[in-house]
Amino acid sequence: MGFKTNKTTYLIINMMIQFFIETFVAMLIGYFGGRALDRWLFEDNPIFVYILIVLGIFSAFKNLLKRAMKISGGDTDGKEDKHH
């Protein structure tokens, strides 16, 4: 029982660390990509910066939910298994 509890704890900590790293990287990519697009298309409006940062955050949450569903044994692709 103790080993399973430790394994679950490590999996949760691993998921949290991966989530924060993915979110940070996605936000950086969104910021710099949006900044480049805004400089190219607009002069003073940071429209693409905001859009791409929010998309990066949503993609990190999507990956977190996929990973959590996979670990918990839930449905990861949205399709139900009709054989059971």
pLDDT tens digits along 4-13:
677 888 888 8
In the block, which residue shows the tokens 């949006």?
A: 34
* Whole-number percent of the chain with pLDDT over 70: 82
* Whole-number percent of the chain with pLDDT over 90: 36
Point out the least confidently predicted range of 33-37, 52-56, 73-77.
73-77
pLDDT at 77: 59
Cβ atoms of 11 and 70 within 8 Å: the answer is no
pLDDT at residue 36 tops 60:
yes
Rounded CA-CA distance 10/37 in Å is 40
